[in-house]
Structure 1
Amino acid sequence: MAYRPDTLENAPLGRDAAYPEHYDAGLLYPIPRAANRAPLGIEEGKLPFVGEDEWHAFEVSWLNGRGKPIVAVARFRLPAESPNLIESKSWKLYLNSFNQTRFADQDAVQSTLTRDLANAAGATVSVELLAVDDAELTPQSLPGECLDDLDIDVSNYTPSATFLVAGEEVVEESLYSHLLKSNCPVTGQPDWGSVLIRYKGPKIDREGLLRYLIGYRQHQDFHEHCVEHIFTDLMQQVKPEELLVLARYVRRGGLDISPWRATPGLTPPSPLRLARQ
């Protein structure tokens, strides 16, 4: 079926919606990335980063050919260069539409997900179906040094790149914080997360970096765009040789989102899941 990228005006997010039980690919609601990237100076076709949006879905179920329920955890990876992201509530509704639908086998489910999500995103989407007790879902820790014990005063809760300053010493380090919080751009609901920053370049002032990250506390945007905002500000203010920004957001509605953006050649530690997810 043909998908039409749309604005948030008609998105299911923030609206009452019936939860379908029978398969319906038309529930997926794509949203163009370009509108949120333009204010950051990011041009489509000239992305300053590579990356993916990694999703985990914990409420995935369907019926086998004999009507017996099957359950799984799904992992999806959307490339950052895809023209569209997929609105999260529409994704949840779409997955719920599998609940009372019969499929011949797991391969049929996986191929259906792969096809529908690629159509909505406008690019190839990776789909894995994991057992609910798969070892890859075991919680782990972020690598590097945590910033959260820094004793700082904070009075600004909107992102300000002026906090991002660096010295002359060139270092290679990984820093992380569990204090990331942003808000849904439609409903205003809080989105909690952790963020990892791995870089090689002028040493970033840690107190300033933590103040900057806390600045997203009242910011309203999608998870994916928050990560691109952080990446862009760090590149512009600090000018590192290498940079990776990875956010792992807490699960909401049976879905979690973990976007990452990096300079070419860097990849995130994977698989990696945190206890709050």
Structure 2
Amino acid sequence: MNTPQDSSLGREVAYPSQYDAGLLFPIPRAAGRAEIGVADDALPFIGHDRWQAYELSWLDARGKPCVATATFTVPCDSPHLVESKSLKLYLNSLNSERFNSDEAARERIAIDLSARAGADVAVALGLPEMVEAEAGESIDAQDIEISDYGPPNPSYLSSDQAQIVEELLFSHLLKSNCPVTGQPDWGSVVLAYRGPRIERTGLLRYLVSFREHAGFHEQCVERIFQDILTFCQPSQLSVEAHYTRRGGLDINPWRATPGTESPIALREVRQ
């Protein structure tokens, strides 16, 4: 049956490792409307249900993770609504799915949601943004092939001892998993350092190798700090992660070499 009691809501459910549109659980609107004397074929109102998704990710054709925010607009005259936990599980089932383009991912989501709602669902994607982008450099746009999603692999890290620089780098592609619940944890990493120039391709591959790692937010940041300090040998280093919310809380661990000034508290769009 398609009642809330038949859905995954309130039940312990393992997070999916493969794409599965069947996770989406439609619930007929008619039952709830009958309770208030409204018939589906004679609605006294117009409207829609707008969903904002902040934890959306997939892989590109070469295996590099992509992240985005998304807005889903479900018309109120659709015969079904989609139960929220099932939507969360469905979105997480996309984490290891490959798409040739952002548009292909958007189209797939729109098709799946429309099929369950019984009407056309509009889907719009947005790219993550961070205030630091004006002063720093994103390493996410590199056109590279990635196939290593864990455990964390510091052997990717290297630096050019002949080039001494001071710069700020950031990536929105950090993902790990809660060691207790298995829930995915999403974050952006801000790396400020002085020392030998860090090689970008290896740094990105290293951060992506956390994708299936089980570790608390604070532990992941400390591991990143220690690995970069060991393998890249900067004289000064600051690592901060902006994690998305869990239960109304977002965690932003910061670790740095002694004497480093604390970073300004900033929020990125997925938070």
Q: TM-score, normalised by structure 2?
A: 0.50
Could you say which residue in structure 2 is the equivalent of 1:260? 254
Could you say which residue in structure 2 is the equivalent of 1:94? none
- Check if 1:190 corresponds to 2:184: yes
- Check if 1:154 corresponds to 2:155: no
What whole-Å deviation, never above 9, does each CA across 1:49-73 have from its counterpart, x for those lacking one? xxxxxxxxxxxxxxxxxxxxxxxxx
Deviation at 1:204, TM superposition (A): 0.7
What whole-Å deviation, never above 9, does each CA across 1:6-51 have from its counterpart, x for those lacking one? xxxxxxxxx99xxxxxxxxxxxxxxxxxxxxxxxxxxxxxxxxxxx
Aligned equivalent of 1:171, options 165, 169, 192: 165
Q: What is the root-mean-square deviation in Å for CA atoms of aligned residues?
A: 1.9
Equivalent-residue separation in structure 1 for 2:196 and 2:250 (angstroms): 33
The correspondence of residues 45-60 of structure 1 with structure 2, limited to 5 A, is none
Equivalent-residue separation in structure 2 for 1:271 and 1:160 (angstroms): 29
Equivalent-residue separation in structure 2 for 1:146 and 1:194 (angstroms): 11
Deviation at 1:140, TM superposition (A): 5.2
Could you say which residue in structure 2 is the equivalent of 1:244? 238
The correspondence of residues 1-277 of structure 1 with structure 2, limited to 5 A, is 141-142=131-132, 143-158=135-150, 159-168=152-161, 169-277=163-271
For structure 2, which runs of at least 5 residues remain unmatched after alignment? 1-10, 13-128
Taking structure 1 as reference, are residues 150 and 268 closer, same or farther at Cα in structure 2, changes over 3 Å only?
Answer: farther
In the alignment of these two chains, the number of paired residues is 142
Equivalent-residue separation in structure 2 for 1:222 and 1:230 (angstroms): 12
For structure 1, which runs of at least 5 residues remain unmatched after alignment? 1-14, 17-138
Deviation at 1:269, TM superposition (A): 2.8
Equivalent-residue separation in structure 1 for 2:201 and 2:148 (angstroms): 13
Secondary structure at the residue paired with 2:267?
Answer: coil
Deviation at 1:157, TM superposition (A): 0.8
Taking structure 1 as reference, are residues 156 and 140 closer, same or farther at Cα in structure 2, changes over 3 Å only?
Answer: closer
Equivalent-residue separation in structure 1 for 2:170 and 2:252 (angstroms): 14
Equivalent-residue separation in structure 1 for 2:214 and 2:192 (angstroms): 25
What whole-Å deviation, never above 9, does each CA across 1:232-268 have from its counterpart, x for those lacking one? 0011111110000000000111010000000012134
Query: Contact between 1:246 and 1:268, CA under 8 Å: does it hold in 2?
Result: no
Q: TM-score, normalised by structure 1?
A: 0.49
What whole-Å deviation, never above 9, does each CA across 1:137-174 have from its counterpart, x for those lacking one? xx951241001101111011111111001112111110
Equivalent-residue separation in structure 1 for 2:194 and 2:266 (angstroms): 22
% identical aligned pairs = 56
Query: Contact between 1:244 and 1:267, CA under 8 Å: does it hold in 2?
Result: no
Secondary structure at the residue paired with 1:212?
Answer: helix
Secondary structure at the residue paired with 1:152?
Answer: coil
Equivalent-residue separation in structure 2 for 1:227 and 1:174 (angstroms): 16
- AA aligned to 1:162 is S
Equivalent-residue separation in structure 2 for 1:266 and 1:234 (angstroms): 16
- AA aligned to 1:197 is L
- AA aligned to 1:184 is C
Equivalent-residue separation in structure 2 for 1:148 and 1:273 (angstroms): 19
Equivalent-residue separation in structure 2 for 1:267 and 1:177 (angstroms): 21
Q: Which has the larger radius of gyration?
A: 2
Secondary structure at the residue paired with 1:194?
Answer: strand
Query: Contact between 1:181 and 1:214, CA under 8 Å: does it hold in 2?
Result: yes
